[in-house]
Amino acid sequence: MLLTPESRLPPAEGWSDARCQGRWELEKFRRLQAVSTGGAEENADVSGGSEAQRPEAQQFVEADVAVRRDAAGIWRLQGEARAVLGAMCQRCLDPLTLEVSSDVDVALDDVSGASDGDAGVRDEAVDWPAGGMTLGELLEDEIFLAMPQVPVHPDRQGCGKLATRLEEFSDAGAGPGPTGEAETRPFAGLRDLLSAATADRKKND
Same domain, 196 and 133: no
Same domain, 146 and 196: no
Question: What is the reported pLDDT for 158?
Answer: 72
Question: What is the reported pLDDT for 187?
Answer: 60
Question: What is the reported pLDDT for 132?
Answer: 92
Question: How many residues are present in the chain?
Answer: 205
Query: Is 172:188 a contact under the CB 8 Å cutoff?
Result: yes
Same domain, 83 and 179: no
Question: What is the reported pLDDT for 121?
Answer: 53
Question: What is the reported pLDDT for 12?
Answer: 84
Half-sphere exposure of 172 (CA within 13 A, CB side): 13
Q: Tell me, what DSSP letter sits at residue 193?
A: H
Question: What is the reported pLDDT for 51?
Answer: 39
Rounded mean pLDDT for each run of 10 residues along the chain, 205 residues in total: 94 92 96 80 41 58 96 94 94 89 91 50 75 95 95 80 61 54 59 66 69
Please provide residue 144's backbone torsions phi and psi, each rounded to the nearest 5 degrees.
-60, -40
Question: What is the reported pLDDT for 154?
Answer: 83
**CA-to-CA distance for 94 and 102, rounded, in angstroms?**
25
Helices 188-204 + 161-172 axis angle, to 10 = 100
| Residue numbers of the domain that contains 198 | 173-204
Q: Tell me, what DSSP letter sits at residue 89?
A: -
164 within a domain of the structure (yes/no): no
